[in-house]
Amino acid sequence: MKRRLIDLVSLDALRVFECAARLMSFSAAASELSVTQAAVSRRIKQLEGMLGIALFHRNGRRLSLTIKGERLFLRMQASLEYLGVELDDLTMPAATNTVSIAATAAVSHLWLSARLRRFNDRYPEVSVRLTTTDNLSELARAESKLAIIYSRGYHPNWSLTPLLSEELVPVVAPGFLTSAGCETEPADLPPHDVSLLDLYDYSRSGVHSVTLRDWFAHNAPNVVPPSPKVITPTYMMAVDTALRGDGVILGSRALIKPHLDSGALVELTRNVMTTGFGYFLGLPRHAPLGEVERTLADFLLTDPAI
């Protein structure tokens, strides 16, 4: 495998270049880095030789960046700033009144956010740090003390308590049915009739995630639905598509319950798919739980809106 240039370039030389370009002086860079001016000059020449480009215009003691030198300098500044923020975050002692929880973007937006608002109203002294990822494997490896895990009820690293069962059914905005001239009661459509509508699907977030095509295979294996109009990268984008009245998506009853209750979305059929999976509140099996973590966990498990 061909090695990347970044594997060959000295990171120390890049750091020297950033300092010299920021101060626009080899001597000032030497003073900041506690080395000699000759060492700075030598490092810059080595870097230019490795890259095969000139980074500075040299006019006596005056320096200016070349076009490519300016480009590299801006990237170096952005990279160092990002690393600096990350290092500060990693080494900052955790506040005793801060609790971290991880969940998918859809769970965070559709289910968890409203509960966190109620939690903050009850416990204003507690700060919640929410981490979101739609990669279910990454979610299960999250460093958060609490996590909402999509599972059948067991995970080697998390002790799981059920929050939401998985019940999947095609849903649509009422306005779409009106424009499509659908006269049948929405909840009575057979799978074949559902397949004739404009379908929108979403990408799988893991090996166990279920899509609209899986629903058809489960409820009507003889029905071959057409390709979806659009396959969105996230579940949330699919929900937004349905709310706009663009077409049909596979709805998770638990996650879109507010939209079903308000009538913004309606179920199309009585063919509900249960997968045996659900959403569970995960507590770490091998690490102690602090007081604030236990407070949030108890709140989520006893919230009357579950």
Q: What type of residue sits at position 161?
A: T
Give burial (CB, 10 Å; 0-12/13-18/19+) of 142.
buried
Name the average pLDDT for the chain.
88
What DSSP state is assigned to residue 222? Answer: T
SS3 state of residue 110: helix
Domains along the chain with CATH numbers = 5-91 (1.10.10.10), 101-306 (3.40.190.290)
| C-alpha distances out from residue 43 to 32, 209, 255, Å | 15, 52, 57
pLDDT under 70 in the chain at which residues? Answer: 1-3, 89-90, 92-96, 136-137, 140-142, 183-186, 207, 304-306
- Of the candidates 220, 276, 270, 267, the residue with the CA atom closest to the CA atom of residue 248: 267
Residue 270: what are its φ and ψ, rounded to 5°? -90, 0
CA distances from 150 to 184, 209, 229, 268 (A): 35, 9, 27, 25
pTM of the prediction?
Answer: 0.67
In the prediction, which pLDDT does 306 show? 54
Looking at residue 32, the DSSP 8-state letter turns out to be H
Are 269 and 195 spatial neighbours (Cβ–Cβ below 8 Å)? no
Q: Residue 48 corresponds to which tokens in the numbers above?
A: 């230019």
- The per-residue pLDDT for 184 is 60
Instruction: Report pLDDT digits (tens) over 34-89.
Output: 999 999 999 999 999 989 999 999 887 788 999 999 999 998 888 888 888 778 76
Q: What is d(CA 289, CA 165) in angstroms, rounded to the nearest whole number? A: 25
